[in-house]
């Protein structure tokens, strides 16, 4: 075999492998499901399951599912009974009612969707692992994270009827807030600055019980988060909100949204895992 032929065959092989990898990339994800739903004859799909072109979803009577496409941001609502096939740019009904569709108000990258999908899968594998009961003592939110709000509600462990003193400063020591609160949460009455680092503490009877630090996201990211919150009316919208917050780097904010959804939808066990 000549060197030129060897190089040509190597190039062709690389192109083939590249095309094969692209063909295996998911085009859509399962963004909601309830009732009896079967994917490719292999049983119920997991929440945020990756879907390839040709994936087949069968829904029993009263079952529902939603499919969100990565590139277009279009979401299709499927209702049973019916059989549906995922294409590169939509969902076709083989049996049953034609799916309705909408363009989601926000869009997230494929990388974030894949990361969330894998986290959801991992959460199912970890369900048998014993989790610590109750919240850890000390500050609960925000703690060593970046947040996507300029007026957060601080949370801490303590007694629901007790009085606490809350102090918030910039990390350089400038006073921002000093006040009292009853219970274990306080929505700051002041608006913070974007892209700024802060420190906060809470105390009772003159004794500091805990302290933590956090940062606010830049103004553009805060604006994107507020837009996503304003449009988060339905379950699907709030799933998208959690993904947007995750993409912006506000991990604890995203977990709070997953936790709210998990409380409302115990039939989707992956949500509880995403909230951890």
Question: pLDDT (tens digit, 9 = 90+) per residue, 225-262?
Answer: 999 999 898 898 999 999 999 999 999 999 999 999 99
Q: 256 CB contacts (<8 Å, ≥6 apart)?
A: 141, 275
Q: What are the Cα distances from residue 171, in Å, to 126, 141, 174, 222? A: 37, 17, 7, 20
Residue 129 has pLDDT above 60, yes or no: no
Residue 111 has pLDDT above 70, yes or no: yes
Nearest to 251 by CA among 98, 112, 57, 100: 112
What are 172-229's pLDDT values in tens digits? 999 999 999 999 999 999 999 999 999 999 999 999 999 999 999 999 999 999 999 9
Coil, strand, or helix at residue 80? coil
For the chain, what percent of residues have pLDDT higher than 70?
Answer: 87
Cα separation of 260 and 276, whole Å? 12
Mean pLDDT of 32-52: 95
Give this prediction's pTM: 0.83
262 or 124: which leads in pLDDT: 262
Domains and CATH numbers, the chain: 28-104 (no CATH), 139-216 (2.60.40.1220)
What are 81-94's pLDDT values in tens digits? 999 999 999 999 99
Average pLDDT, the chain: 88
146: phi > 0 → left, psi -120 to 50 → alpha, else beta; which? beta
């Amino acid at each position: 075999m000549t060197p030129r032929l060897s190089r040509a065959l190597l190039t062709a092989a690389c192109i083939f492998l590249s095309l094969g990898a692209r063909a295996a990339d998911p085009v859509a994800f399962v963004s909601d499901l309830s009732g009896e739903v079967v994917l490719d004859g292999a049983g119920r799909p997991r929440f945020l399951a990756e879907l390839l072109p040709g994936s087949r979803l069968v829904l029993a009577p009263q079952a529902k599912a939603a499919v969100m496409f990565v590139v277009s941001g279009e979401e299709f609502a499927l209702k049973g009974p019916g059989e549906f096939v995922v294409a590169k740019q939509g969902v076709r009904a083989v049996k049953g009612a034609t799916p309705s569709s909408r363009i989601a108000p926000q869009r997230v990258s494929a990388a974030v969707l894949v990361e969330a999908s894998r986290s959801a899968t991992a959460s199912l594998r970890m369900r048998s692992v014993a989790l610590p009961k109750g919240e850890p003592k000390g500050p609960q939110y925000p703690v060593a994270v970046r947040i996507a709000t300029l007026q957060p509600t601080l949370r801490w462990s303590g007694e629901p009827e007790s009085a606490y003193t809350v102090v918030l400063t910039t990390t350089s020591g400038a006073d921002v807030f000093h006040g009292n609160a009853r219970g274990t949460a306080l929505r700051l009455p002041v608006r913070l600055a974007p892209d700024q680092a802060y420190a906060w503490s809470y105390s009772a009877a003159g004794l500091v019980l805990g302290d933590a630090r956090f940062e606010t996201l830049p103004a553009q990211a805060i604006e994107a988060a507020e837009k996503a919150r304003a449009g988060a009316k339905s379950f699907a919208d709030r799933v998208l909100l959690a993904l947007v917050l995750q993409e912006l780097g506000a991990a604890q904010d995203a977990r709070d949204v997953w936790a709210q959804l998990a409380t409302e939808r115990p039939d989707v066990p992956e949500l509880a895992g995403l909230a951890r």
